[in-house]
Amino acid sequence: MAATYEPIATTTLTGTQANIEFTSISGAYTDFILTGTVVRTAGSDIEFVLGNGSYDTGSNYSLTYLYGTGSAAGSGRGINATKGNAGYASSTNPMSLTIQAQNYSNTSTYKTLLVRNSPASGDVSAIVNLWRSTSAINQIKLTPNSGSFGAGTSLTLYGIKAA
């Protein structure tokens, strides 16, 4: 039986890097999962943009998030944003990150992405992002909103193919 859950690409950093992107994502899969550990040079949110051939940098992103700080739980929202959000990563310890996109290559619906963010220090969070575009996703670029990704950051993009 053909593999259902396949690694598509992996990036592991040996030095600092301003952003990480995966391009030319095949539309042969049903869902993709981007998962790994993120090391940061400064504590900040990890943001991302999506696109098909070119990145959408318009105000077409929004999100709803749930977080726990260790002493309180809360929720917030972002609307009409120019980027999606994958949560906060500290500068001292790595963050475990998973971004899931279901039916990412369909051209009939907007794209909803689920994020689980588990930093070693800082807020644990679950985030639902919306990209208001019916375009297929074939590229994703992650960028910290300050500083850079650090050495040891490792992210793998997996494709899941439904029957």
Q: Which helix (H) or strand (E) holds 115?
A: strand 111-119
Question: How many residues are there in the chain?
Answer: 163
> In whole angstroms, what is the distance from residue 48 CA to residue 140 CA?
7
Least distance to another protein, CB of residue 15, Å? 19
> In whole angstroms, what is the distance from residue 83 CA to residue 36 CA?
20
> In whole angstroms, what is the distance from residue 100 CA to residue 102 CA?
6
Site for another protein in 90-129 (CB under 8 A): 96, 98, 100, 102-103, 106, 108-110, 112, 114, 116, 118, 126-129
Q: Between the CA atoms of 157, 19, 55 and 112, what dihedral angle is there, to the nearest 10 degrees?
A: 50
Indicate which single residue of 16, 17, 30, 41 sits in contact with another protein (rule: CB under 8 A): 30
Indicate which single residue of 23, 26, 57, 73 sits in contact with another protein (rule: CB under 8 A): 73
The site that binds another protein (CB under 8 A) totals a number of residues, namely 55
Least distance to another protein, CB of residue 147, Å? 21
Indicate which single residue of 66, 135, 138, 147 sits in contact with another protein (rule: CB under 8 A): 66
Indicate which single residue of 8, 9, 13, 130 sits in contact with another protein (rule: CB under 8 A): 130
> Does residue 135 interact with another protein by CB under 8 A?
no
Cβ–Cβ contacts within 10 Å for residue 133, how many? 18
For strand 73-81 and strand 84-89, is the pairing parallel, antiparallel, or unpaired? unpaired
Q: Which residue has the tokens 């369909």?
A: 106
**Binding residues for another protein (CB under 8 A):** 1, 3-7, 10, 30-31, 33, 35-37, 62-68, 73-77, 79-80, 96, 98, 100, 102-103, 106, 108-110, 112, 114, 116, 118, 126-130, 132, 134, 154-156, 158, 160-163
